[in-house]
Chains A and B, each alone.
Chain A
Amino acid sequence: MYVAVKGGEAAIDAAHAALTKKRRGDPAVPDLSLEQIDQQLALAVDRVMLEGSVYDRELAALAVKQARGDLLEAIFLLRAYRTTLPRLAASLPLETGRMAVARRISATFKDLPGGQVLGATFDYTHRLLDFALAAAAPPAGDDGGGDAPAPAAAPDTAAAPPVSPPRVSDLVGRDGLIEPAQPSDPEPAPADLTRQPLRFPAGRDLRLQALARGDEGFLVSLAYSSQRGHGTIHPFAGEIRQGEVAVEIVPEELGFPVTIGTVAVTECEMFGQFTGSQGEPPRFTRGYGLTFGESERKAMAMAIVDRALRSAELGGSTGAPAQDVEFVLPHSDTVEASGFLQHLKLPHYVDFQSELEGLRRMHAGLAAAPPAAADKSDAPDDGTLP
């Protein structure tokens, strides 16, 4: 018997063909269109755009389709496309204060200028499977909300006039009870970790960029660990707003800003625990999250982790995972993490053979030596990987 050990061209081709077939599934079932993914799996598209760092719903929908619904794979596809694109311009900072809000809530004030606008949210729905949705053709007029019968006059958010309420942090800041927003300094331009490797210490611009691209699950867990006491920041959801915001650039030949389009974003400002020092009164501090689309959970996690990462500069404790820049940033990127994890599927024959040879030599040495030398109880598991 001969054991086939090494793959080759034919095996790869066959695997690709099998994948294509499996991706399509049963040909009797209609093919998914990108429009369907964009419209009906909109939050998947949002996440892929965000962590893939490309604001393009069609490409993100294509990635979701090609990846068979594996969002991490879709993010990877979009990233690999993005990296080949030229950088044409840097936009001005988004003026989220002038956002046309579709949703805007604050957990810190019962009512406030601009009001609370729930918009479309899973919050307050009862998570009961809606078997009506399982029917092939839902009855006309079903809003798919899944919770209660549609209200007689379900307001179309597009019909309501968009408003740009003042920021909660500005309202609180007027009394000096929250640290002032650090104005973004146009010079030097913000760092860009897609053009420069991540170095430490990493400024807040870099940290926020890394967090925005970072894996949602990782950041949610980190934020949660902070909430449970590992580097807590005692956060309040000062404000969460969702909506369209204009993107402006200043073309060199014009010298004044021009709007080139709008992006849908979710912004979250967390108010963190107040700190004080000699000569400085205690006041709330800020954590910031900004995401594409309606990625609200991610924006909240990002804001908490951002604030936790500022602990050292604010004179707070350090040492918890969520406060450790050199732990959080290098491990937040799903494309890097997923790739390296899965490389373990690649052959490691040579390294394993090297270890086998070393072990055999050690065993031979132990067999020859008196047993007293065989105490390996304190041998560390250093978990080294090839």
Chain B
Amino acid sequence: MTAGYNFAYLDEQTKRMIRRAILKAVAVPGYQVPFASREMPLPFGWGTGGIQVTASILGHADILKVIDQGADDTTNAVSIRRFFARVAGVATTTRTAAATIIQTRHRIPETPLRAGQIMVFQVPIPEPLRWLEPRESENRKSHAMADYGAMHVKLYEDIVRYGQIATSYDYPVRVAGRYLMAPSPIPKFDNPKLDRSPALMLFGAGREKRIYAIPPHTPVVSLDFEDHPFSLQRWTEACSQCGDTASFLDEILLDDQGNRRFVCSDTDHCAARQAAGAGGAP
């Protein structure tokens, strides 16, 4: 641990303030709770909301996993994991099943979560209505009145224009039948993992100073229409490392001749399959 700083960096008063915001967020699923976000030693936009949430819930016995784009070894995930190893001295892991807290940017692990685990999402723009109306005061009114017509119109216009809903990540969801919520820029592929998950989902937006939550077992519905139901991304390829055809695949360009290869975005999932003897696609 780093001398001169409190356990997990934040002082206890700040942690208490953030925990109160988290409790309120859990009590009102999907509602964005304002909180007095702090400057962190990492830049805004690089996960400060998630870091503050993690710092506030972290205990000595916790085992922390940090992923970015599904991978444990992306630079920012390495940086954040190191930060907590340094300021909190907690154990870290890359194994989804072994972690008690998983801080993530842009993905939910492929391995199903279990009760007692907490997902902490880094959120750039917590307001799902921001792109339709930039004014905070207007959007607060829309949420208060559950007036989400503008979002349905936007999705409808997508269908008219493109024949499908064009939003492919940060796909808006309705939480517990009440609040419209931005799931953070996870691919819509991951949206079903939010629905009735046994794990607690916490969302931290540091620069925007908002915390929100999906408590365990809460129904989460991706917006759609009866005749244009929500659909998932799919690949015709398989992972070149483990052969999986059901996980989210990253595309790797091999040369300038258009040759490419696909690998699992979730490195832990891929490594586990390989360890179990799964081979890559040719």
Contact = CB atoms under 8 A, between A and B. Distances in A.
B251 A356 contact: yes
B109 interface: no
A382 B131 contact: yes
Contacts of B44: 335-336, 338-340, 343
A329 B34 CA distance: 16
Contacts of B209: 197-198
Given A200-B137, A339-B46, A386-B170, A83 B187 contact: no
Interface stretch (B23-31, B57-65, B70-78): B70-78
B124 interface: yes
Contacts of B69: 347-350
A335 B78 contact: no
A180 B267 CA distance: 65
A86 B162 contact: no
Nearest to A4: B252
Contacts of A7: 73-75, 78
A372 interface: no
A11 interface: yes
A355 B170 CA distance: 11
Interface stretch (A106-114, A216-224, A293-301, A357-365): A357-365
B43 interface: yes
B189 interface: yes
A369 interface: yes
A93 to B, nearest CB: 23
B137 A346 contact: no
B196 interface: no
Interface string B240-282: 0000000011111111000000000101000000000000000
B194 to A, nearest CB: 16
Contacts of B168: 351, 354-355, 357-358
A373 B162 CA distance: 9
B43 A349 contact: no
B106 A386 contact: yes
B37 interface: yes
Interface in A197-243: 197-201
Contacts of A361: 164
A200 B134 CA distance: 13
A22 interface: no
Nearest to B210: A197
Interface of B is mostly: loop
B124 A354 contact: no
A194 interface: yes
A265 B21 CA distance: 36
B164 A343 contact: no
A86 B11 contact: yes
Interface residues of B, number: 66
A12 B38 contact: no
B147 interface: no
A349 B250 contact: yes
A213 to B, nearest CB: 11
Given A11-B75, A326-B136, A354-B188, A343 B46 contact: yes
A341 interface: yes
Contacts of A5: 250, 252
Interface in B161-201: 161-164, 166, 168-170, 185-189
B235 interface: yes
Contacts of A336: 44-45, 207
A83 B106 contact: no
A358 B70 CA distance: 20
Most A Cβ at <10 Å: residue of B75, B82, B255: B75
Interface stretch (A37-45, A74-82, A143-151, A272-280): A74-82
Contact of A386 (B74, B124, B134): B124
Interface string B128-168: 00010011110000000000000000000000011110101
Given A350-B107, A351-B169, 9 more contacts: A84-B9, A326-B136, A339-B44, A350-B69, A350-B186, A350-B265, A358-B168, A361-B164, A384-B170
23 contacts: A1-B255, A12-B78, A194-B36, A197-B36, A198-B209, A200-B137, A201-B137, A326-B137, A336-B44, A340-B207, A343-B43, A346-B68, A346-B105, A347-B74, A348-B185, A350-B106, A350-B185, A350-B250, A351-B168, A351-B185, A358-B233, A362-B166, A378-B161
Give 3 nearest A-B pairs by CB, closest first.
A343-B45, A339-B44, A339-B43
